[in-house]
Amino acid sequence: MSRYLFLLQLLPVVSYAAPVLNATHGKIQWGPCAEDLTALDDTLPIMCGNLSVPLDYSVSNSSKTLKLELVKLPAQSKTSSGSILLNFGGPGEASDENFVGLAPKLQFMTGGHHDLITFNPRGTGKTLTFSCYEDPSDGYVAAGPLKAGNSSDTAPGEIWASASVFADDCRAEAEEIGSLIGTSFVARDMMEIVNALGENGLKYWGFSYGTLLGATVAAMFPDRMDKIVLDGVVNWHEYWDSYNLEMLTDADKTFRSLLDGCIAVGEDCALVKGRPNVTAVELEESIFDFLEDLKYSPIAHNGQILDYTTAKFFLFNTLYKPIQWPEITTILNEIIRGDVSYVLDILIPKSKSSTVSSFSSSDALHGIQLGDSKARTSDLTDIGPALTQLADLSKLAGDLLFFRTMATAQWQMAASERYRGDYHVKTKNPVLFIGNTFDPVTPLVSAHNVSSDFEGSVVLEHNGHGHTSMGQESLCTVKAIQAYFLNGTLPKPGSVCEVDIPLWSNLTWIDLLE
């Protein structure tokens, strides 16, 4: 089968159970994957394996181990140029669930010369799973539904109380695990994988939170870094020491760019149909007017309620994937026109235990990120400046992060090892940073801020929309990544890559193969 036919026949993202083979300490036994994985597509040559690593690196000479479950897509070339480890972010997302759908695209973007390997980090999937409630609905009852900070005058106090209950419940349910799932331990797990592979250094491509993990492992083991790509960068100063506020710097800019793109394509965008002279500013005002109305007049439909918080989470989450923007603007059009019955089933969670936002209600996300952070206070007024900064940074999303910020302040567990080392790092080989011009949660400024801490590193600006360079594809970016992984060639400082998949097109990365 040709490479292109092989790529075209791959299945989309599917969740599956990781393989179960005999775990060994210090060596990976590769073999067939579990049946539920191989049944998805027998043309996908994925291999699976396990590796035992120390459970607690802070305890010397301990015999307790943790089994990591790994998935590998072998190189397409006859001779592999080594392995590239991948992490898709979160934190808290199971990497194997993303890997199945993204592997062919990642293989194309890296050139097919390397084995691609991922694993579920501590706290995710079935690897030392971090959960605050046996039944997810218990969390809804105990801490209450998620609320945006500006949903009412009393919302901040209510969120503070909910975050307190959540922190108490997580400690009661998962205290033994909470100290073992921190980023520094995951960094050490990665180097155990490198050792087991018998490779000279770490090759790594991390996305979103995966960039924080990558920066951390590079700082902890600078002499063992081979090629490191950090794509969609998290400000590691804020992550470790504060409340991670910088992430929303470009959220509103990305939302406005969505509306600008809508205007640019004319009636191909549903929001423009019947409004020949409408502007992006007018569309934005209409949307925020609708949100404001929802504060006082939530909409009931089929036993569900569409409120301010739910609608804002929906809008914010749509910014991640530009390929979905045509559908999203159709929904927004119905909202603005007042015909909301068409879209309520899409906007409203199907049950109380449904997540309003994938990043705001994940126990694993909170367990990892909050345990890493040193920001703590028992007084709501102490974090007032942080909440104000969030609201000022983003009208759309600032108040959506109030819960996470308040939960961080009141968290009662700490990772056994937190990175507190030098923020000025010289790696064996320089790091490649990639930042989008329009990214809702990992702004370009963060790529520059973290790059300034890594001697010899370069920031490649990916002039696209969505989250990480995967949001809107660019052959220029692909070639830069391939050149870096193959021979260590970095783009020139100040390089900007334009995208090749226009907004509101039906094109995908597969079209770049032609």
Distance CA 54, CA 66 (A): 6
User: Tell me, what's the pLDDT at 329?
Assistant: 92
Chain centroid to Cα 191, Å, comes to 22
Q: What percent of the chain has pLDDT over 70?
A: 88
pLDDT band at 16 (very low <50, low <70, confident <90, very high): very low
Place of tokens 């923020």: 423
Burial class (CB in 10 A: 0-12, 13-18, 19+), 217: buried
Tell which residue, 165, 170, 214, has the closest CA to residue 468. Answer: 214
User: Tell me, what's the pLDDT at 7?
Assistant: 33
Q: pLDDT digits over 363-379, tens only?
A: 999 999 999 999 999 99
Q: pLDDT digits over 95-123, tens only?
A: 887 888 888 899 999 999 999 999 999 99
User: Tell me, what's the pLDDT at 22?
Assistant: 35
- pLDDT of 21 > 80? The answer is no
User: Tell me, what's the pLDDT at 145?
Assistant: 74
User: Tell me, what's the pLDDT at 11?
Assistant: 26
- pLDDT of 279 > 70? The answer is yes
Which is higher by pLDDT, 275 or 177?
A: 177
Q: pLDDT digits over 444-475, tens only?
A: 999 999 999 999 999 999 999 999 999 999 99
**Average pLDDT score over residue span 489-500:** 98
- pLDDT of 86 > 90? The answer is yes
- DSSP assignment string, 15-82: --PPP-----BS----BPPPHHHHTT-TT---EEEEEEEES-TTSTT---EEEEEEEEE--SSSS---
User: Tell me, what's the pLDDT at 305?
Assistant: 81
Q: What CATH number belongs to 29-128+180-243+420-512?
A: 3.40.50.1820
Q: What percent of the chain has pLDDT over 90?
A: 72
Q: pLDDT digits over 156-207, tens only?
A: 999 999 999 999 999 999 999 999 999 999 999 999 999 999 999 999 999 9
The ranges assigned to domains in the chain are: 29-128+180-243+420-512, 136-177+364-410, 248-347
User: Tell me, what's the pLDDT at 144?
Assistant: 66
Instruction: Look up the pTM and report it.
Output: 0.91
Mean per-residue pLDDT of the chain: 88
- pLDDT of 213 > 50? The answer is yes
User: Tell me, what's the pLDDT at 360?
Assistant: 34
- Residue 308 has which token pair? 């301010």
Distance CA 499, CA 472 (A): 7
User: Tell me, what's the pLDDT at 142?
Assistant: 62
Q: Are 260 and 280 in contact (CB under 8 A)?
A: yes
User: From start to end of 213-265, where are the E strands?
Assistant: 225-231
Distance CA 342, CA 340 (A): 5
User: Tell me, what's the pLDDT at 301?
Assistant: 73
- pLDDT of 425 > 70? The answer is yes
- pLDDT of 26 > 80? The answer is no
- The answer to which of 62-66, 356-360, 385-389, 505-509 has the lowest mean pLDDT is 356-360
User: Tell me, what's the pLDDT at 24?
Assistant: 44
pLDDT band at 143 (very low <50, low <70, confident <90, very high): low
User: Tell me, what's the pLDDT at 488?
Assistant: 97
81-104 residues labelled b (16+ CB within 10 A) or e (exposed): bbbbbbbbbbbbbbbbbbbbebbb
Helix axes 402-410, 155-178, angle to 10 degrees: 50
Q: For residue 203, what are the CA distances in angstroms to 80, 94, 103, 145, 228?
A: 13, 20, 16, 41, 6
- Rg of the chain over Cα atoms, rounded to whole angstroms, equals 23
